[in-house]
Amino acid sequence: MKNLFEELQRIKSLMVYDSTPNINEVSTSSVQGDSSKPAETKTNDSNKSTETKPEPTSDLKKTDKKDCVYITNTERYNTESDVNTEVPEKFFQRFKQKVEEQFGLFEDGQFTVEDINVFGGASNYWKGSNSNKFPAVEPKYCNEYDVNVGIKSLKPWGSGCKGFDKTPKATYDKNVTGKKKNEDLAKRRAQKVLVELTNKIVAYAQQNNIKVTDNFKQEVKSVESGSIYSTDKTDTHSSVMAAIKSGELNAGQFVMIDAIL
In one-letter notation, the amino acid at residue 187 is K
At 29 the pLDDT is 33
Of 143-152, 197-206, 252-261, the poorest mean pLDDT is in 197-206
Report d(CA 255, CA 77) in Å as an integer. Answer: 8
For 89, list phi and psi in degrees, rounded to 5.
-70, -45
- Tens-digit pLDDT profile for residues 205-215: 778 777 766 67
Q: Could you give the CA distance from residue 53 to residue 34 in angstroms, rounded to a whole number?
A: 36
Question: Which CA distances in Å does 68 have to 62, 159, 200?
Answer: 11, 36, 20
* Distance in angstroms (rounded) separating the CA atoms of residues 226 and 186: 6
| CA-to-CA separations, 160 to 164, 174, 240, in angstroms, rounded | 7, 23, 20
23 pLDDT band, cuts 50/70/90, is: very low
Mean pLDDT of 199-226: 77
Higher pLDDT, 180 or 131: 180
pTM of structure: 0.69
> What does the pLDDT average to over 32-57?
44
Residue 48 confidence class, pLDDT cut points 50, 70, 90: very low
Instruction: Write down the pLDDT at residue 86.
Output: 82
pLDDT tens for residues 148-185? Answer: 999 999 999 999 999 999 999 999 999 999 999 999 99
